């Protein structure tokens, strides 16, 4: 291995993003932030690294094993590199923006870093973009966020996507109401997660009946709700299902074309969610496009939000062949170049006299050439 190949070697899960992928990701990010802003969400920009204890407070403790840590030479305190931006926005909302009127609508975009990748997302560094809606506890807030996520995907021309709704607190609530001990509740939740009907049937009724019922209630929203209605759930569990039904009704009224599915017992990846949550998938695309849900701030204030993953979005956004690079031969006036850029061209200027102008334009990946007769398309 020579010196150049050694310098190009990066740790597992990290990669250089080269042209044109980097520009494509930037366009996706720009589109998302414009959609968020047009819906009243104001952008905030937290730091990439901050004191470790701030990132691990409350729900952040669930992400401790994913965090890179470094010693700050200035304060001699441990610092953490963010693994997720939601917790940082929550910190901002409870401190610097505590007095701002509610509902507080915030948006964000940035890079996150994790110690390990996953099977579906081996990348350890990737970009996130999302929103947080701070203050309201009404189901209208949940519906707003899901509709906003759908609007953002449509702005990116992603058509074949689905939104999977879940209640990560439903099974714990059910077990609590049925006085199930913690060890049994965890085992039952794992059995539900693995879709193990035989193991679920071994539990006493009504736990077994309800858990098997929840398992059968997974699928398209209409059928799933009918299956949930057939269950005899205790009051608090039933109230969570009623909230889910209200959100589905609001979504169908506002966007009947949305593809909605329900998996009421799903909880993986929703470590800090305290209510209705959702995941966005696209047909034929590896990994989830995004996820979101309800949670509580450190002071107990209700909040909800979602995060979209730009690496997954890049796999889902239709690829367009752009041919807007225009070569400006050496000596082209600054005024001409400015005018062409105003028209939307991406100009590449020659820096020395060319022997073969067309060959130079092609060498620099330009599809068009500017000359005395104006813009010429290269064959």
Structure tokens at 63: 């992400």
pLDDT 10s digits, 86-133: 989 999 999 999 999 999 999 999 999 999 988 878 899 999 999 999
pLDDT of residue 270: 75
The Cα 145–Cα 273 span in angstroms is 15
Q: If 0-12 CB within 10 Å is exposed, 13-18 middle and 19+ buried, where does residue 137 land?
A: middle
Cα of 133 vs its chain's centroid, Å:
15
Q: Are 108 and 85 in contact (CB under 8 A)?
A: yes
Q: Which residues pair with 326 in a beta bridge?
A: 347, 368
The Cα 195–Cα 309 span in angstroms is 27
Q: Are 162 and 281 in contact (CB under 8 A)?
A: yes
Structure tokens at 92: 């901002």
DSSP tag of 17: P
Residue 369, H or E segment: strand 368-371
Average pLDDT over residues 237-243: 97
pLDDT of residue 296: 92
pLDDT 10s digits, 9-52: 899 999 999 999 999 999 999 999 999 999 999 999 999 999 99
pLDDT of residue 313: 97
DSSP tag of 263: -
For the whole model, what pTM was predicted? 0.91
Of 55-69, 100-114, 184-198, give the range with the top mean pLDDT: 100-114
The Cα 104–Cα 94 span in angstroms is 11
pLDDT of residue 292: 96
**Mean pLDDT across the chain:** 93
Tell me: pLDDT of 1 over 60.
Answer: no
DSSP-based three-state secondary structure for 222: helix
Distances (CA, A) of 32 to 148, 264, 284, 287: 10, 29, 22, 19
Q: Which residues pair with 281 in a beta bridge?
A: 162
Give the CB-side neighbour count of residue 159, counting CA atoms within 13 A. 1
Distances (CA, A) of 49 to 54, 71, 84, 178, 212: 10, 11, 11, 43, 44
């Amino acid at each position: 291995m020579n010196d150049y190949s050694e310098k190009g070697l990066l740790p597992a899960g990290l990669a250089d993003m080269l042209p044109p992928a980097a520009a494509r990701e930037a366009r996706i990010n720009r589109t998302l932030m414009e959609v968020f802003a047009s819906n009243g969400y104001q952008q905030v920009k937290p730091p990439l690294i901050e004191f470790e204890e701030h990132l691990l407070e409350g729900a952040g403790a669930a992400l401790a094993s994913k965090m890179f840590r470094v010693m700050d030479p200035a304060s001699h305190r441990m610092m953490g590199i963010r693994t997720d931006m939601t917790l940082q926005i929550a910190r901002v909302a409870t401190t610097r923006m505590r007095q701002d009127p509610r509902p507080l609508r915030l948006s964000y975009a940035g890079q996150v870093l994790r110690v390990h990748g996953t099977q579906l997302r081996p990348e350890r560094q990737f970009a996130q973009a999302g929103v947080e809606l701070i203050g309201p506890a009404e189901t209208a807030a949940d519906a707003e966020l899901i509709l906003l996520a759908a609007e953002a995907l449509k702005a990116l021309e992603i058509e074949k996507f689905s939104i999977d709704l879940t209640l990560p607190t439903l099974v714990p609530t059910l077990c609590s109401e049925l006085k199930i001990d913690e060890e049994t509740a965890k085992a039952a939740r794992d059995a539900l997660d693995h879709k193990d009907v035989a193991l679920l049937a071994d539990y006493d009724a009504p736990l077994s009946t309800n858990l098997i019922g929840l398992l059968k209630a997974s699928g398209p929203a209409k059928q799933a709700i009918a299956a949930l209605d057939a269950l005899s759930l205790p009051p608090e569990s039933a109230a969570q299902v009623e909230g889910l039904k209200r959100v589905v009704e609001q979504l169908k009224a506002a966007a009947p074309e949305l593809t909605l599915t329900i998996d009421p017992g799903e909880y993986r990846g929703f470590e800090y969610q305290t209510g209705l949550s959702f995941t966005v998938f696209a047909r034929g695309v590896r990994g989830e496009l995004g996820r979101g849900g309800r949670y509580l701030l450190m002071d107990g204030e209700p909040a909800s939000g979602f995060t979209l993953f730009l690496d997954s979005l890049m796999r889902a956004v239709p690829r367009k062949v752009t041919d807007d690079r225009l070569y400006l031969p050496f000596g082209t006036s600054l005024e001409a170049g400015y005018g062409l850029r105003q028209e939307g061209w991406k100009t590449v200027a020659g820096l020395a006299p060319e022997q073969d102008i067309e060959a130079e334009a092609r060498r620099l990946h330009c599809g068009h050439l500017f000359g005395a007769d104006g813009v010429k398309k290269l064959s």
